[in-house]
């Protein structure tokens, strides 16, 4: 299955500017299904981790209060062209997803 994470990385000098987007419903567990009137169980990303050449550069912990299809951006230094940036996420139901990009 194709990864549901999208990552855009921009290098300026040794600083990498990372913008990421995940496709995920981020259900809070408090919403009712309009047809069945039953609560939709919580289903959300709990943790998003970025590693650059196996060095962890960011750990983001999400609750249900992060919007559907989460957007997240950050910057880190010590990056160079050719580095492998890996984004991986885990959700509360044990689902996982990951994506690798090469910085340029």
Partner 1 sequence: MHVGRRFFLRSGVALAALAALPRVLLAAAWPDKAFSSSAAGEAMVDLLGTDQTIPSDQIKLKLPVIAENGAVVPVTISTSLENVESISIVVEKNPRPLAATFEILPGTAPEISSRIKMGQTSDVMAVIKTDSGIYSTAKEVKVTIGGCGG
Question: In the complex with partner 1, which residue's Cβ is closer, 82 or 94?
Answer: 94
Question: In the complex with partner 1, which residue's Cβ is closer, 90 or 99?
Answer: 90
What is the distance between the alpha carbons of residues 66 and 27, in angstroms, rounded to a whole number?
10
Among residues 3, 21, 7, the alpha carbon closest in space to that of 51 is found at: 7
Provide the sign of the torsion angle of the four alpha carbons 16, 59, 91, 36, taken in this order.
negative
Question: In the complex with partner 1, which residue's Cβ is closer, 3 or 92?
Answer: 92
Residue list 2-21, contact with partner 1 (CB under 8 A): 15
Binding residues for partner 1, total number by CB under 8 A: 33
What is the distance between the alpha carbons of residues 45 and 68, in angstroms, rounded to a whole number?
10
Residue list 25-84, contact with partner 1 (CB under 8 A): 28, 30-32, 46-47, 56-68, 70-78
Cβ partners under 8 Å of residue 55, min gap 6: none
Residues at the contact surface with partner 1, assessed by CB under 8 A:
15, 28, 30-32, 46-47, 56-68, 70-78, 90, 92, 94, 96
């Amino acid at each position: 299955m194709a990864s549901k994470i999208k990552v855009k990385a921009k290098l300026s000098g040794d600083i990498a500017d990372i913008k990421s987007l995940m496709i995920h419903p981020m259900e809070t567990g408090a919403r009712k299904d309009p047809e069945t009137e039953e609560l939709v169980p919580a289903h959300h990303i709990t943790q998003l981790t970025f590693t650059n050449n196996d060095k962890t550069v960011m750990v983001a912990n999400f609750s249900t209060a992060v919007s559907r299809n989460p957007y997240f951006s950050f910057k880190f230094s010590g990056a160079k062209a050719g580095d492998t940036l890996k984004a991986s996420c885990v959700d509360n139901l044990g689902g996982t997803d990951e994506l690798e990009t090469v910085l340029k």
